[in-house]
Amino acid sequence: MAAKSLQSIRGIHDGLPAEVRVWQRIETAARKVFGTYAFSEVRLPILEPTELFVRSIGEATDIVSKEMYSFTDQGGDNICLRPEGTAGSVRAYLQGGLTRSGTQRWFYIGPMFRRERPQKGRLRQFQQIGVEMFGAAGPLEDIEMLAMAHAFLTELGITGLTIEVNSLGCAVCRPGYRDQLVGYLKQRAGQLCETCNERIEKNPMRVLDCKVASCQAQLGDAPEMVGHLCEGCETHFTGVKQGLDALQVPYRINARIVRGLDYYNRTAFEIVTDQLGAQGTVLAGGRYDGLVEELGGPATQAIGFAAGLERLSMLLGETEAAGVDVAVVALGDAALTYSLKQAALLRSEGLSVVHCGGGNAKRQFRVADRESARCVVVIGENEMHTGLVTLKDMATGNQHELSIAEVVQAISG
RNA sequence: GUGGACGUAGCUCAAUGGUAGAGCCCCGGCUUGUGAUGCCGGUGGUUGGGGGUUCGAGUCCCCUCGUCCACCCCA
C-alpha cells in the first residue's frame, strides 16, 4: 500500500506470473483445439474508429452508449479502445479483401475494454479468446462451433458447465414475436419491477430472464421466440439440435437467452457456471448473418463466440510454477567467472538455470530452494581444478561429482 | 451510474477513544563448501489519503481514492 499515487487504473489489473501461468494454460488449450478445427489466429487492432462499434453493436446498447473508452486523438479522429472483437474482425475481413477467399476461420486472444463498475469476473480491461467464422451458412457450422467450444472447455478440464442454446429468430420472425411479447408484458406491467418496465420498450426479451422472483412469477406463460420461429429459422434450429445430439454435445434449450448486441440472429448460446456469482457466463456467442453486409460488405453469413480469459482462469485455480532445472552455487570469488561459463553451457543444452549469485553457501542454497530448483550445481576451487562439478539432487540430498555433459544427461534423462 | 461491506507491516490479521502488535515472509547469527525441520537476533508502519470532533483518534464524523459484493449490463 506504499505508493498511493502510482496505481493501475480502477478495474485494470496486472497479470503477474502466477496469473499469467494460468492464462497460458488456457491459451495453449485454445490454440490446440482451435487448430484441430483449422482455425487461424489473427491479431487485430486494439484501437478502432468509434464509428465501427456504433454501427455494429448498436447505438442504444450500454456498451456503446456508456461503456466505451472513446476519445478524440490529436488529429481529430474519434477512436476508441475496442469493447469486443467481432466488429473489428468483420472490419478486417472486409478491409483485407477476403470476401472471395472462401470460408474464413479465425480466432484471437487479446484485451477488450469496457468502462463498467468492476466486480467479480468483471474488469474494465479483460481478455477474450474469440472465434469468428465468415461464410458459414447452414446449421453445420453452428454445430461445429458449439462442438469446438465444448472441446475447448473439455480440454481445460473445467466441469460443472452448462451449454445453453436458443434461437433469436431473424428479421422475418422476430419483429412479430417482439410485438406479441410487448403486448403480453404491457398487460402485466403493473406487476413487474421497475427495471422490467423500462425494458418493455427498450429490450423486451430481457424481461424474460429478470432475476426478481415476483417478475418470474408473472412470466410463466410468456411467449417465447422458439415458439414463433419462421420456417427458415425453425429448420435451422432443428438442424442445430440434431447435430448436437449426433455429436453428443450436451446442451439444454434456454429460450430466455438474450443477446445484448444488435447484430445477433438465429443461434445464440452461452456456456454458464454457477461458481462465479453474478457473472456466470464463461463463453457466449451466436450467429450474426447481417453484420458483414451492415458494415458495407457482401451478404455473408457468420457465427462466432468469445470466452472470458479471466473468468475461465477463476475456474481453474493455480498452476504450479515450472521450477528451474539447475541452480548454480559458486563458492569463492575465484570460481565466479568460471561458474558463469558453466551456467551458460547448461543453458545452451536447453536447461533452465538460475545463478545464485555467489557469496556464502548457505544463502545460495536458500536461493536454490526458493526457486524450486531440482538440482544444484556446486562450483568451487576444487571443481575448477578437476573440471567437474558437484551435482546435488535437492529432493534426495544426494550429490556426486560429474562432468557438465553428465549433468545434462542426468537432468534431461 | 445506483446500493452495501471493507481498507492497520511484503502477506494473513489483532489492538473497551489512552505507548500500534502477532504469525508467516525477508535479512543476519549459531554452522566462512550445503537448502527445506531447530535456536537466537534484526529490518520493516505518516493505520489508503485529506479534513473535523476530542486533553488524546487505527477506533467517532465528513470528503476522497481503492478493493470486494450486488443491481444495471455483460466475457
* pLDDT (tens digit per residue) in A109-141: 999 999 999 988 899 999 999 999 999 987 999
**pLDDT for res A253:** 95
Q: What percent of chain A has pLDDT over 70?
A: 99
Q: Which window residues (30-59, chain A) lie with Cβ within 7 Å of strand B?
A: none
* Lowest model confidence (mean pLDDT) among A68-72, A167-171, A316-320, A350-354: A316-320
Q: Which amino acid is at A73?
A: D
Three-class secondary structure of residue A48 per DSSP: strand
Measure A373 CA to B43 C1' (Å).
27
CB A128 within 8 A of CB A23: no
> With a 7 Å cutoff on the CB, does A63 touch strand B?
yes
| Mean pLDDT value of segment A398-402 | 91
Which segment, A100-104, A212-216, A328-332, A333-337, is predicted with the most confidence on average? Answer: A100-104
Q: Which window residues (255-274, chain A) lie with Cβ within 7 Å of strand B?
A: 258-261, 270
Pinpoint the alpha helices (H) of A225-335. Answer: 231-246, 291-294, 309-316
Q: Residue A322 CB: number of other CB atoms within 10 A?
A: 9
Measure A332 CA to B71 C1' (Å).
65
C-alpha cell at A29: 488449450
* Confidence tier at A278 by pLDDT (50, 70, 90): confident
For A60, half-sphere exposure in the C-beta direction (CA atoms, 13 angstrom radius) is 7
* A17-173+229-316 CATH: 3.30.930.10
Strands A326-330 and A353-355, bridge-based pairing: parallel
**Nucleotide whose C1' lies closest to the alpha carbon of residue A367:** B35
Mean per-residue pLDDT over chain A, rounded:
92
**pLDDT for res A3:** 36
Q: Is the pLDDT of residue A236 over 70?
A: yes
Q: Is the pLDDT of residue A4 over 60?
A: no
d(CA A240, CA A247): 11
What's the maximum distance between 2 C-alpha atoms anywhere in chain A?
Answer: 94
Query: Which nucleotides of strand B lie under 7 Å from a protein CB?
Result: 1-3, 7-11, 26-29, 31-36, 46, 48-49, 65-75
Choice between A203 and A173, residue whose per-residue pLDDT is larger: A173
* Confidence tier at A377 by pLDDT (50, 70, 90): very high
**pLDDT for res A1:** 35
CATH 3.90.1150.10 fits A326-412, yes or no: no
What separation, in Å, do the N-terminal and C-terminal C-alpha atoms of chain A show?
46
| Mean pLDDT value of segment A326-355 | 93
| Mean pLDDT value of segment A164-188 | 93
**pLDDT for res A5:** 59
Q: Is the pLDDT of residue A260 over 70?
A: yes
d(CA A212, CA A216): 6
Q: Is the pLDDT of residue A400 over 60?
A: yes
Kindly indicate whether the ipTM for this predicted assembly is greater than 0.85, answering yes or no. Answer: yes
Query: Residue ranges of the domains in chain A?
Result: 17-173+229-316, 326-412
Q: Is the pLDDT of residue A12 over 80?
A: yes
Choice between A413 and A343, residue whose per-residue pLDDT is larger: A343
Cell 538440482 -> residue: A375
**pLDDT for res A212:** 85
Q: Which window residues (343-402, chain A) lie with Cβ within 7 Å of strand B?
A: 360-363, 365-366, 368-370, 376, 378, 380-383, 390, 392, 394-395, 397, 399
**pLDDT for res A101:** 95
Q: Which window residues (153-192, chain A) lie with Cβ within 7 Å of strand B?
A: none
Measure A4 CA to B49 C1' (Å).
8
Q: Is the pLDDT of residue A216 over 90?
A: no
**pLDDT for res A332:** 87
**pLDDT for res A299:** 95
> With a 7 Å cutoff on the CB, does A209 touch strand B?
no
| Mean pLDDT value of segment A158-167 | 94
Choice between A295 and A1, residue whose per-residue pLDDT is larger: A295
| Mean pLDDT value of segment A51-66 | 90
CB A251 within 8 A of CB A244: yes
Q: Is the pLDDT of residue A163 over 70?
A: yes
